[in-house]
Amino acid sequence: MNFKDGSTQQVQFFGGRPKYSRFMHIEIVNEQSAETLVRSVLRCLAAFGGSPKEWVFDNPKTVRISPIHQNPPVLHPYLGQLVNEHKVIANLCAPRSGNQKGSVERLVGYVKNGFLLAYTFDDHEDLKRRLAEGLYAVNHTRTCDATKRIPAEALLEERPYLNQRPTRDAGESWDFRESVTVLPEGLVAFRGTKYSVSPAMIGSVATLFVRESRIDIYVGLEVCQHIRKDGFGGIVRAPKHRDETADILKGRRKKATFRRQRIHELGPVAQRFLCKWVHTCEKGDWEGACDELFELLCEHSETAFCEALSVCLADGCCSAQAMRRTLKAAA
């Protein structure tokens, strides 16, 4: 889609409606993953005020993971978990049988032809704003061609039945579960990012409760909470896990290597500092200096530590002594 501001964007959306009232729920989505699907379903049910006893879907891989002609179908684990929690029936349409969900097909046609292709929009925010306005009009002020009633009024009659299966959230806090093994570094990996747990749990199986913006890791009797950072490519490590890992390691070389790695994880500024610092250590003895740097990191916040690294780099003084002076002056 081309916007008036000159930008171009592929617009993807999720749509749902109950059969009786024909109340529309449409939302713009960034991707068509299984997680996006289930969170959109939950927001859709929240808009309805509860869940019908049957959900009808097409057959994308985000819905079913078994071959198209296999019966009964095997649902994607994320959707299967949601179906089980709400005690509903998931009904998948037969291939090329759009008539089995005609009301939804007409909804899709309305969004594509009666909205997206019928208007021009200033930008993405204007698209979302006008979509909300259009949905309010078709749900609350216009009569549905199929039922000859206003959908919002018909939805009130459906609510007592929908309320028999209430939703526990609107999508953001719903969690799906993944089982992973704690790596030798005291980390668990999920979607391109590693998250820390207690190093005492190395080799154990952890269960990840993945929410939209947070990950809770259950391993043994411990629960670790982290801000979710898909595709970060680095390590999200809690300060307490940093200290515990340093304590549990045996041998000077192993401890020094871990401490250097922990500083390295702070980002590009720390990496440039380490590169210059390691090559200027007298007689190549970087282990003792590394211990000093790590102690400074433990004594100060990561933000203050990184700011001091930048100052020392700019001054050309990459040493533990220079870091101590800089941190003391900034305190």
pLDDT surpassing 70 at residue 158: yes
Residue 207 pLDDT grade (very low, low, confident, very high; cuts 50, 70, 90): very high
Chain centroid to CA 115? 29
Taking residues 136-147, report their average pLDDT.
92
Residues 6+ apart with CB under 8 A from 50: 159, 161, 162, 163, 164, 165, 166, 167
pLDDT tens by residue, 270-292: 888 888 877 776 655 666 667 78
Residue 154 pLDDT grade (very low, low, confident, very high; cuts 50, 70, 90): very high
User: Distance between CA 179 and CA 327 in Å, rounded?
Assistant: 42
User: Distance between CA 64 and CA 78 in Å, rounded?
Assistant: 10
pLDDT surpassing 80 at residue 331: no
Residue 223 pLDDT grade (very low, low, confident, very high; cuts 50, 70, 90): very high
Residue intervals in the chain for CATH 3.30.420.10: 12-162
pLDDT at 95: 65
For tokens 């982290």, the residue is: 226
CATH 3.30.420.10 fits 12-162, yes or no: yes
For tokens 């024909």, the residue is: 22
Lowest-confidence pick of 22-36, 86-100, 105-119, 196-210 = 86-100
Mean of per-residue pLDDT scores for the chain: 86
pLDDT surpassing 60 at residue 194: yes
Lowest-confidence pick of 173-187, 240-254, 286-300 = 240-254
Residue 132 pLDDT grade (very low, low, confident, very high; cuts 50, 70, 90): very high
Of residues 280 and 46, more confidently modeled = 46
pLDDT at 3: 87
pLDDT at 190: 95
Closest alpha carbon to 190 in 158, 230, 152, 222? 230
Neighbouring-strand partners of residue 196: 187
pLDDT surpassing 60 at residue 136: yes
Residue 149 pLDDT grade (very low, low, confident, very high; cuts 50, 70, 90): very high
User: Distance between CA 236 and CA 37 in Å, rounded?
Assistant: 27
pLDDT surpassing 90 at residue 34: yes
Instruction: Name the CA dihedral angle for 215, 193, 266, 307, rounded to a multiple of 10 degrees.
Output: -60
pLDDT at 307: 92
pLDDT at 192: 93
Pairing of strands 193-196, 235-236: parallel
